[in-house]
């Protein structure tokens, strides 16, 4: 595994505080919404439905997006950014290292979320490979957005929490994380097709809850793949920008 990924995971492991919240948050959200949407027949269907969007829309959003920003702000605050920029690491190494670290976190969150769903009768019905691809593309998209903001604007963590909650949380809601997007009025439903969270949620929900195959989610996958590629590009450019502006002794 890349040294960057190892380092991020080790640091998280030594601190553990954020790990606790990254477990607690999706666990509570899934329990809550799984029980809210349960009907007389039992909880199986509602947990089937909620597990994928709670994982991808809620759990990954908070771990990846705020996690990446914390990583970058931390590098700045501790002056390690200079050392990183002076090393042989390329922007791509660095970005993909962060993605790899958060894929590991995402795997952990998936185990928790589906473990809870399983206890309430929910199941994963689709192809595991396809689900993994969707999760990896989603992690890349989140890391890309987080990296963009972290690299450009974030000098301290407080500075970021506001905008992330103010803009991010509505996007989650609009993306159908907490309720099916067909409940949206038609103009909002159309608008949300530009929202990557919508495509993540829809793709994983169809695969996980309905057992859909590659062809059925091809549109969502395409959108996510393009968004992920753009994220990588933006990430490497942000890195070069940091190099040009911040790599000074």
- 20-49 binders of other proteins (CB under 8 A): none
Query: Is 82 an interacting residue with respect to other proteins (CB under 8 A)?
Result: yes
Is 166 a binding residue for other proteins by CB under 8 A? The answer is: no
Among 40, 79, 166, 215, indicate the residue that binds other proteins (CB under 8 A): 79
Site for other proteins (CB under 8 A): which residue of 14, 182, 185, 215?
14
Contacting range for other proteins; rule: CB under 8 A; set: 19-27, 84-92, 199-207, 219-227:
84-92
* The binder of other proteins chosen from 27, 38, 89, 173 (CB under 8 A): 89
Among 20, 24, 83, 119, binds other proteins (CB under 8 A): 83
* Tokens read off for 112: 């928790």
87 binds other proteins (CB under 8 A): yes
4 vs 93: CA distance, rounded Å: 8
Least separation in angstroms between residue 94's CB and other proteins is 9
Q: Does 76 bind other proteins (CB under 8 A)?
A: no
By CB under 8 A, the count of residues binding other proteins is 21
Longest C-alpha distance within the chain, in Å? 65
DSSP state string for 61-129: IIIIIIHHHHHHHHHHHTTHHHHHHHSS--HHHHHHHHHHHHHHHHHHHHHHHHHHHHHTT----S-HH
Query: Rounded to an integer, what distance in angstroms lies between the CA atom of residue 53 and that of residue 181?
Result: 11
- Which residues within the stretch 219-248 sit at the binding site for other proteins (CB under 8 A)? 247-248
Query: Cα separation of 212 and 217, whole Å?
Result: 7
Nearest to 126 by CA among 221, 23, 43: 221
Q: Which residues bind other proteins (CB under 8 A)?
A: 3-4, 6-7, 10-11, 14-15, 78-80, 82-84, 86-89, 247-249
């Amino acid at each position: 595994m890349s040294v960057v990924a190892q380092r991020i995971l080790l640091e998280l492991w030594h601190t553990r505080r954020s790990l606790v919240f990254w477990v607690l948050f999706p666990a509570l959200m899934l329990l809550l919404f799984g029980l809210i949407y349960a009907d007389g027949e039992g909880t199986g269907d509602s947990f089937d439905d909620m597990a994928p969007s709670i994982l991808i829309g809620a759990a990954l959003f908070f771990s990846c997006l705020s996690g990446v920003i914390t990583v970058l702000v931390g590098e700045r605050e501790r002056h390690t950014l200079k050392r990183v920029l002076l090393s042989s690491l390329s922007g791509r190494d660095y970005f993909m290292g962060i993605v790899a670290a958060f894929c590991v976190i995402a795997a952990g969150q998936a185990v928790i979320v589906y473990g809870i769903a399983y206890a309430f009768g929910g199941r994963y019905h689709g192809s595991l490979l396809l689900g993994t691809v969707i999760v990896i593309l989603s992690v890349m998209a989140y890391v890309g957005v987080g990296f963009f903001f972290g690299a450009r604007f974030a000098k301290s963590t407080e500075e970021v929490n506001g905008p992330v909650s103010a803009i991010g949380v509505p996007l989650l809601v609009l993306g159908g994380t907490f309720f099916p997007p067909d409940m949206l009025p038609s103009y909002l439903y159309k608008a949300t097709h530009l929202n990557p969270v919508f495509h993540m949620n829809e793709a994983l929900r169809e695969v996980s809850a309905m057992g859909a195959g590659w062809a059925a989610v091809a549109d969502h996958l395409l959108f996510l793949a393009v968004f992920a590629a753009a994220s990588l590009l933006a990430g490497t450019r942000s890195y070069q920008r940091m190099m040009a502006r911040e790599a000074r002794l």
